[in-house]
């Protein structure tokens, strides 16, 4: 499926475009990314439940996009701000194009579900029960369930006074109920709203002998809605869902108590402006008009759905047990090569630097390192940054246990991690209760770096063990996101890590690091210097080469530097999963730049950087994407990987990603993405499958290597 150009008037590939057309629109590039996700749902080569999963991802992605990006643009418009984006579009033009493209995307999404996925699910034994077509036994079953488990939870609320509407929660399913006017004919209809709490669950399993038969909770409540309105006549009952603006932040310069201020932000989101209305296409014109007026939403931000609202709920159908033939073959995460089950992580890291690529390789060694540190009497201190964690985090539990055992534990818990604020507030308060020294992030900056330092007393003196990562300390997402972990006890890394941590937890002035680099201080200059180094080598007759894997490329200064490198003849290969504002392949500007995007079963999340550096490669991992927010408004890390074996592994991983043929899309000069011409070949390279094959091979090879155990021969004991 081809994609619409990301900005107006795309330039010819035969000449460099004028300055205002050197970049794609950030927002429209994101939509192009979500369209690539949708393509995976449309792909007949993917198993059925995997296709359903991608439909759910499309909806989940759109929820966040509307809350943040569309919400931000609407605020700009309301404030009268007319700043243009890098592609020359003002907020009104961006919103209009977003509406057009997202309406097309949603129409394609539902056509895929209704015409293809749903019939095939039914044929495979997974069936949505139409409540208008129930057997007497099923009707009795649902009636009993409604009376005893659903009805007691529901609280219908009258909408008699549109001037003072009740709080209608965002991203929650509701029923709009139109009641027959009472009394004199011709009176306006009356309305009520029934909120369907998420705790009820979306899918109600029905008792059948084979397969999986389910009903949607909104259908069941609609079926028995008369129980909620005794004595009333229901004229209409339709599902709807709203998205509220979540683009809110704390004025940290005025916030005396950041914890309290973040709690206020969460409260503000509950009652912020509605930025999107989703409603069943069965809705009448009169009810739709009422909802739009009530929520102050126009047609451009109203989305009529011919199928179930909130397709992200279908994640649970994709995860249910059974039906394994409708899924990809499992790829169990592989163990750390050469590590024995009872071997200390400290011993393993002392033998040499450790590099892991999750989820192909297990995240357990990272958790193990922290759990060992919590229990080890020789560990003196643990310092860690927590950006996003899981609900029942073993990492947080290990930090709490360490503090309870009188180790000095410092945790920087980023309260401003969007949509994880509530969870992080809870963790911060809980950790404080256990004696952990908690820092609530930094003023005016988000702390997004992934680092953990363990300080241990050993016979040779104090040694620091450091974990650097590209992803969060979250063992759940580590099974789904492609991320790098790098563990080392080299002194220079330990010294830099300590200096970095002291800088962000105290009032230390910025320092000069030996190995690492950090945003917002030196990361941007470092990246520009690395690009400039390749330009100079190319101009001196050497071969310049850059390979970069990031999630997003938006920063104009870095894009301009890459353009200069391309014009100098430097070969540049970019793997950019999501937003890319750089135009590749434009003659006189970027003909030496290629951009690919891989969308597959795991979310591409690792940031890996390679600079040829005259044949002595410089290789880095990073927590930062190439976006202004990461380089200027966040605390991020760039970590060099110099160990020869680890460095070669990273270079190999990077090349495999860039060489993907099966799941890669290639960005064209006009903003469209095309599938690789070899994608249907029998031996088309699927990078994620190859990375998993390598992880299995490394684990197998290590398991087959005989372990040499030196056992001293002792003299016989005299009797």
Q: What is the pLDDT of residues 382-418, one digit of tens each?
A: 999 998 898 899 999 999 999 999 999 999 988 876 6
Query: What phi and psi, each to the nearest 5 degrees, are found at residue 239?
Result: -75, 145
Half-sphere exposure (Cβ direction) of 92: Cα atoms closer than 13 Å: 6
DSSP 3-state of 623:
coil
The mean pLDDT of 119-147, rounded to a whole number, is: 95
Q: How far apart are CA 504 and CA 101, in angstroms?
A: 42
The mean pLDDT of 496-509, rounded to a whole number, is: 85
Say if CB 176 and CB 240 are below 8 A apart: yes
Q: Is the pLDDT of residue 669 over 80?
A: yes
Q: How far apart are CA 194 and CA 177, in angstroms?
A: 8
Q: Read off the tokens for 110.
A: 């539902």
- Residue 302 is given by DSSP the state E
Res 505: pLDDT = 84
Q: Is the pLDDT of residue 14 over 70?
A: no
Q: Read off the tokens for 503.
A: 């800088």
Res 717: pLDDT = 59
Non-local (6+) Cβ contacts of 442 within 8 A are 504, 635
Q: What is the pLDDT of residues 30-61, one digit of tens each?
A: 999 999 999 999 999 999 999 999 999 999 99
Res 78: pLDDT = 85
Q: Is the pLDDT of residue 719 over 50?
A: no
**Torsion angle, CA of 388/389/390/393, rounded to 10 degrees?**
-170
Find tokens 């074996």 and name the residue: 645
Q: What is the pLDDT of residues 283-296, one digit of tens each?
A: 999 999 999 999 99
Query: What phi and psi, each to the nearest 5 degrees, are found at residue 324?
Result: -65, -25
Say if CB 177 and CB 234 are below 8 A apart: yes
- The model's confidence at residue 712, banded by pLDDT at 50, 70 and 90, is low
**Torsion angle, CA of 506/510/511/514, rounded to 10 degrees?**
100
- Residue 160 is given by DSSP the state -
What is the secondary structure of 81-114 as a DSSP string?
-----TTS--HHHHHHHHHHHHHHHHHHHHHHII
- In b/e form, how buried is each residue of 509-519, taking b as 16+ CB within 10 angstroms? eeeebebbbbb
Average pLDDT, the chain: 90
Assign 3-state DSSP to the chain and report helix, strand, coil percentages, each to 5: 40, 20, 40
Q: Is the pLDDT of residue 269 over 60?
A: no
Please report the domains of the chain, with CATH numbers, ordered by start residue.
19-326 (3.30.1840.10), 345-515 (3.30.870.10), 518-704 (3.30.870.10)
Q: What is the pLDDT of residues 589-641, one digit of tens each?
A: 999 999 999 999 999 999 999 999 999 999 999 999 999 999 999 999 999 99
Q: What is the pLDDT of residues 293-308, one digit of tens each?
A: 999 999 999 999 999 9
Q: How far apart are CA 566 and CA 588, in angstroms?
A: 9
The mean pLDDT of 638-653, rounded to a whole number, is: 98
Burial class (CB in 10 A: 0-12, 13-18, 19+), 298: exposed
What is the secondary structure of 372-395 as a DSSP string?
HHHH-TTEEEEEEEESS--TT-HH
| Residue of higher predicted confidence among 178 and 5 | 178
Q: Read off the tokens for 138.
A: 């099923």
Choose among 555, 552, 560, 554: nearest CA to 531.
560
Res 13: pLDDT = 43
Q: What is the pLDDT of residues 550-598, one digit of tens each?
A: 999 999 999 999 999 999 999 999 999 999 999 999 999 999 999 999 9
- The model's confidence at residue 703, banded by pLDDT at 50, 70 and 90, is confident
Query: What phi and psi, each to the nearest 5 degrees, are found at residue 110?
Result: -70, -35
Q: Hey, how many other C-beta atoms are within 10 angstroms of the C-beta on 167?
A: 9
Q: Is the pLDDT of residue 23 over 90?
A: yes
The mean pLDDT of 316-322, rounded to a whole number, is: 91
What is the secondary structure of 220-248 as a DSSP string?
HHHHTGGGTSTT--EEEEEEEEEEE----
Q: How far apart are CA 113 and CA 318, in angstroms?
A: 13
Query: What phi and psi, each to the nearest 5 degrees, are found at residue 180?
Result: -65, 135
Q: Read off the tokens for 475.
A: 């063992």
Calculate what percentage of the chain has a pLDDT beyond 70.
Answer: 90
Q: Which of 328-342, 538-552, 612-626 has the lowest mean pLDDT?
A: 328-342
The mean pLDDT of 194-217, rounded to a whole number, is: 93
Query: What phi and psi, each to the nearest 5 degrees, are found at residue 502?
Result: -65, -35
The mean pLDDT of 662-684, rounded to a whole number, is: 95
Res 338: pLDDT = 87
Q: Is the pLDDT of residue 663 over 80?
A: yes
Query: What phi and psi, each to the nearest 5 degrees, are found at residue 702?
Result: -65, -35
Res 8: pLDDT = 35
The mean pLDDT of 526-555, rounded to a whole number, is: 98
Catalytic residue numbers? 448
Find tokens 């795991």 and name the residue: 602
Find tokens 């569309």 and name the residue: 70
Q: What is the pLDDT of residues 419-474, one digit of tens each?
A: 667 787 787 888 999 999 998 878 788 999 999 999 999 999 999 999 999 999 99
Burial class (CB in 10 A: 0-12, 13-18, 19+), 552: buried
Say if CB 359 and CB 482 are below 8 A apart: yes
DSSP 3-state of 413:
strand
Q: How far apart are CA 571 and CA 549, in angstroms?
A: 15
Residues forming beta bridges with residue 621, ordered by sequence position? 608, 639
């Amino acid at each position: 499926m081809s994609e619409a150009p990301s900005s107006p008037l795309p330039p010819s590939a035969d000449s460099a475009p004028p300055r205002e057309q050197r970049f794609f629109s950030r927002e429209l590039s994101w939509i192009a990314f979500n369209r690539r996700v949708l393509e995976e749902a449309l792909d007949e080569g993917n198993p059925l439940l995997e296709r359903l999963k991608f439909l759910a991802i499309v909806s989940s992605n759109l929820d966040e996009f509307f809350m943040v990006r569309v919400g931000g643009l609407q605020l700009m418009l309301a404030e009268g701000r007319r700043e243009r984006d890098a592609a020359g579009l003002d907020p009104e033009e961006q919103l209009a194009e977003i509406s057009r493209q997202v309406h097309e995307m949603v129409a394609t999404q539902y056509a895929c579900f209704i015409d293809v996925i749903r019939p095939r699910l039914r044929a495979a034994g997974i069936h949505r029960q139409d409540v208008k077509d129930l057997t007497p036994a099923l009707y009795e079953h649902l009636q009993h369930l409604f009376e005893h488990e659903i009805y007691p939870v529901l609280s219908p609320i009258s909408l008699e006074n549109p001037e003072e509407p009740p709080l209608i929660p965002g991203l929650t399913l509701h029923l709009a109920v139109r009641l027959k006017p009472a009394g004199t004919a011709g009176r306006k209809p009356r309305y009520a709203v029934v909120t369907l709490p998420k705790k009820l669950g979306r899918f109600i399993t029905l008792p059948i002998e084979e397969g999986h038969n389910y009903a949607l909770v909104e259908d069941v409540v609609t079926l028995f809605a008369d129980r909620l309105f005794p004595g009333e006549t229901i004229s209409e009952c339709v599902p709807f869902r709203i998205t509220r603006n979540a683009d809110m932040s704390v004025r940290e310069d005025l916030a005396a108590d950041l914890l309290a201020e973040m709690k206020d932000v969460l409260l503000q989101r509950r009652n912020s402006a509605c930025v999107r209305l989703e409603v069943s296409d069965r809705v009448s014109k009169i009810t739709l008009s009422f909802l739009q007026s009530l929520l102050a939403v126009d047609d451009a931000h109203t989305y009529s759905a011919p199928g179930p609202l909130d397709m992200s709920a279908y994640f649970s159908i994709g995860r249910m047990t059974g039906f394994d033939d409708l899924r990809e073959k499992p790829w169990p995460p592989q163990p750390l090569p050469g590590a024995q089950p009872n071997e200390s992580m400290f011993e393993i890291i002392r033998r040499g630097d450790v590099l892991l690529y999750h989820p192909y390789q297990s995240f357990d060694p990272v958790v193990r390192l922290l759990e060992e540190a919590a229990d080890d009497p020789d560990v003196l201190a643990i310092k860690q940054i927590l950006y996003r964690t899981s609900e029942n985090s073993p990492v947080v539990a290990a930090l709490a246990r360490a503090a309870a055992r009188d180790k000095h534990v410092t945790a920087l818990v980023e309260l401003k991690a969007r949509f994880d604020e509530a969870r992080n507030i809870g963790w911060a308060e809980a950790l404080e209760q256990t004696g952990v020294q908690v820092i609530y992030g930094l003023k005016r900056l988000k702390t997004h770096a992934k680092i953990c330092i363990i300080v241990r007393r050993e016979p040779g003196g104090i040694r620091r063990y450091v974990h650097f990562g590209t992803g969060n300390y979250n063992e759940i997402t580590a099974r789904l996101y492609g991320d790098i972990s790098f563990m080392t006890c080299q002194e220079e890394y330990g010294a830099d890590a300590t200096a970095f941590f002291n800088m962000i937890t105290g009032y230390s002035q910025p320092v000069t690091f030996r190995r690492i680099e950090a945003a917002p201080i030196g990361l941007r200059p470092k990246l520009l210097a690395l690009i400039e180094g390749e330009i100079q080598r190319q101009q001196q007759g050497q071969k310049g080469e850059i390979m970069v894997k990031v999630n997003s490329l938006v920063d104009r200064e870095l894009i301009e530097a890459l353009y200069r490198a391309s014009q100098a003849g430097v070969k540049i290969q970019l793997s950019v999963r999501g937003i890319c504002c750089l135009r590749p392949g434009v003659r006189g500007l970027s003909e030496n730049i290629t951009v690919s995007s891989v969308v597959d079963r795991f979310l591409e999340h690792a940031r890996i950087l390679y600079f040829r550096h005259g044949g002595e490669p410089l290789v880095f991992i990073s927590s930062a994407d190439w976006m202004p927010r990461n380089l200027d408004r966040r605390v991020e890390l760039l970590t060099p990987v110099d160990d020869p074996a680890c460095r070669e592994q990273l270079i190999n991983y990077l090349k495999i990603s860039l060489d993907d043929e099966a799941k890669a899309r290639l960005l064209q000069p006009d903003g469209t993405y095309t599938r690789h011409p070899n994608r249907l070949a029998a031996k088309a390279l699927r990078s994620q499958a190859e990375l998993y094959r390598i992880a299995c091979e490394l684990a197998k090879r290590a398991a087959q290597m005989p372990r040499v155990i030196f056992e001293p021969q002792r003299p016989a004991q005299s009797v």
